[in-house]
Amino acid sequence: MGRYSDVDVIVAPATPAQAKSALAIVRVSGEGCLGLVAHCFRPKGKAPLKPWAPRYGDWMDVEGLVDDVMVTTFRGPRSYTGQDMVEISCHGNPVLIQAIQTSLTNLGARQARPGEFTMRAVLNGKMDLLAAEAVNGLIEANTRYQADLIRRQSHGPLVTFINEQVEQMLQMQAHIEATIDYGEEDIDALQREQLAGKLKTMVDAFKRLEQTARFSLAMKRGFKVLLTGEPNVGKSTLFNTLVRHERAIVTELPGTTRDLISEQIEIGGLPIILMDSAGIRDSNDRIEQLGIQKIYELLHDVDLVLFLNDAAEPREPYPQLKELTQEKWFEVVTKQDLVEESHVAEKDDQMKARVPVSALTGKGLRQLEQQIVIRLSTVMAGQSVYLINQRQEEIISTVSTLLKSAADDFDMGFGEEVLSSYLNAARQQLGELTGETDVEDILDRMFSNFCLGK
Ligand SMILES: Nc1nc2c(ncn2[C@@H]2O[C@H](COP(=O)(O)OP(=O)(O)OP(=O)(O)O)[C@@H](O)[C@H]2O)c(=O)[nH]1
Ligand SMILES: [Mg+2]
Q: Which residues pair with 354 in a beta bridge?
A: 331
Q: Are 105 and 39 in contact (CB under 8 A)?
A: no
CA distances from 362 to 272, 336, 338, 343, 366 (A): 20, 10, 13, 18, 8
Instruction: Output the pLDDT for position 297.
Output: 81
Of 227, 250, 258, 310, best ligand 1 pocket probe by most atoms within 8 Å of the beta carbon: 250
Kindly report the protein residue whose alpha carbon is nearest to atom 9 of ligand 1.
Answer: 234
Whether 118 has a binding-site annotation, put simply, is: no
Strands 223-229 and 41-43: unpaired
pLDDT tens digits for range 288-298: 777 777 777 88
Helix (H, G, I), strand (E, B) or coil at 330: strand
Q: Whose CA is nearest to atom 13 of ligand 1?
A: 234
Task: Determine the 3-state secondary structure of 89 from DSSP.
Answer: strand
Would you place residue 2 in the very low, low, confident or very high pLDDT band (cuts 50, 70, 90)? very low
Q: Give the ligand with the smallest distance to the CA of 228.
A: 1
Which whole number is the average pLDDT over 18-43? 96
Q: How far is CA 141 from CA 190, 379, 398, 444, in A?
A: 49, 20, 26, 22
Stretch 273-297: mean pLDDT: 79
Q: Are 54 and 41 in contact (CB under 8 A)?
A: no
CA 142, distance to chain mean position in Å, is: 10
How many Å apart are CA 276 and CA 228, to the nearest integer? 7
Cβ(236)–Cβ(276) under 8 Å?
yes
Q: Convert the pLDDT of each residue in 196-222 to its tens digit.
A: 999 999 999 999 999 888 888 888 889
User: Average pLDDT in the 298-305 region?
Assistant: 86
Judged by phi (left if over 0) then psi (alpha if -120 to 50, else beta), residue 243 lies in: alpha
Which protein residues have their CB within 5 A of the ion that is ligand 2?
235-236, 256-257
Distances in Å between the Cα of 238 and the Cα atoms of 243, 260, 299 are 9, 15, 20
The CA radius of gyration of the chain, in Å to the nearest whole number, is 30
| Confidence tier at 343 by pLDDT (50, 70, 90) | low
Q: Please tell me the distance from the alpha carbon of residue 274 to that of residue 297, in angstroms, as a whole number.
A: 16
- C-alpha span between 392 and 413 (Å, rounded): 32
Residue 10 dihedral angles phi and psi, to the nearest 5°: -110, 150
**Of ligand 1's atoms, which has the minimum distance to the CA of residue 334?**
31
- Write down the pLDDT at residue 107: 96
For residues 357 and 365, what is the distance between their CA atoms, to the nearest angstrom?
6
Arithmetic mean of pLDDT over the chain: 86
Instruction: Compute, in angstroms, the gap from residue 239 CA to the centroid of ligand 1.
Output: 10
Confidence (pTM): 0.68
User: What is the pLDDT at residue 187?
Assistant: 66
pLDDT tops 60 at residue 4: no
Q: Report the Cα–Cα distance between both ends of the chain, in Å, rounded.
A: 21
Give 228's strand partners: 307
Going by CA atoms, what residue is nearest to atom 12 of ligand 1? 232
Measured in Å, residue 360 CA sits from the centre of ligand 1 at 9
Q: Which residues pair with 332 in a beta bridge?
A: 308, 355
Q: What are phi and psi of 25, to 5 degrees?
A: -125, 130
C-alpha separations of 79 from 52, 209, 447 in Å: 9, 33, 19
Question: Is 447:118 a contact under the CB 8 Å cutoff?
Answer: yes
* Residue 349 confidence (pLDDT) above 50: no
Q: Is the pLDDT of residue 347 over 50?
A: no
Q: Which of 228, 230, 232 to mutate to test the pocket of ligand 1 (most atoms within 8 A of CB)?
A: 232
Pocket test residue of 237, 260, 336 for ligand 1, highest count of atoms within 8 A of CB = 237
In this structure, how many other beta carbons lie within 10 angstroms of the beta carbon of residue 195? 19
- Is 362 flagged in the annotation as binding? no
Look at the chain and count its residues: 454
Residues of the chain with pLDDT > 90: what percent? 48
Rounded to whole angstroms, how far apart are CA atoms 263 and 243? 7
Confidence of residue 116 (pLDDT cuts 50, 70, 90): very high
Handedness of CA 19, 25, 27, 32 (dihedral sign): positive
Please give the residue that has the higher pLDDT: either 20 or 380: 20
Q: State the Cα–Cα distance between residues 158 and 272, nearest whole angstrom.
A: 27
Checking if the pLDDT of 348 tops 60, the result is: no
From 13, 11, 55, 17, select the one nearest 36 (Cα to Cα): 11
Query: How confident is the model over 124-167, as pLDDT tens digits?
Result: 989 888 888 888 888 888 778 788 888 887 667 888 899 999 99
Q: Which protein residues are within 6 Å of ligand 1, measured from CB?
A: 231-237, 250-252, 254-257, 279, 334-335, 337-338, 358-360
| pLDDT at residue 449 tops 70 | no
Q: How far apart are CA 2 and CA 427, in angstroms?
A: 28
